Amino acid sequence: EVQLVQSGAEVKKPGESLKISCKGSGYSFTSYWIGWVRQMPGKGLEWMGIIYPGDSDTRYSPSFQGQVTISADKSISTAYLQWSSLKASDTAMYYCARSQWLTVYWYFDLWGRGTLVTVSS
């Protein structure tokens, strides 16, 4: 089955670090881009950034550049989203999603179920 499986919910304190994961299966992981999308409570979707596991080419939205790091380990078909110092405002659901294209033809055709990150003191 073609799917993206995300890591489980996290509860962290402000200032702590965190790395969440997204494992692809059932398709050639290195032939598709993997993106990350934030959804804050009761809000819409925000495109954070995207990585091509084949060569680790990574692009960030200006809103998230410097705030998070996107990486991938193609040997285990897994992409990551990490924070070095969490803030309460990072509390959100984070989705990973797959795209075959970038730029003109971009769309996400496969989504993970999401990882809920709660940051609270």
Partner 1 sequence: QSVLTQPPSVSAAPGQKVTISCSGSSSNIGNNYVSWYQQLPGTAPKLLIYENNKRPSGIPDRFSGSKSGTSATLGITGLQTGDEADYYCGTWDSSLSAGGVFGGGTKLTVL
Report d(CA 98, CA 81) in Å as an integer. 14
Out of 59, 67, 69, 91, which residue is the one contacting partner 1 (CB under 8 A)?
59
Question: SS3 for 103?
Answer: helix
Residue 107's closest CA among 54, 58, 35? 35
Out of 49, 53, 92, 117, which residue is the one contacting partner 1 (CB under 8 A)?
49
Out of 24, 29, 35, 70, which residue is the one contacting partner 1 (CB under 8 A)?
35
Report d(CA 107, CA 113) in Å as an integer. 17
Segment interacting with partner 1, rule: CB under 8 A, options 10-18, 23-31, 46-54, 81-89:
46-54
| Residues binding partner 1: number (CB under 8 A) | 27
The answer to the question of residue 24 lying near partner 1 (CB under 8 A) is no
What's the Cα-to-Cα distance from 42 to each of 36, 39, 45, 61, 93, rounded to whole Å?
18, 8, 10, 21, 10
The answer to the question of residue 58 lying near partner 1 (CB under 8 A) is no
The answer to the question of residue 108 lying near partner 1 (CB under 8 A) is yes
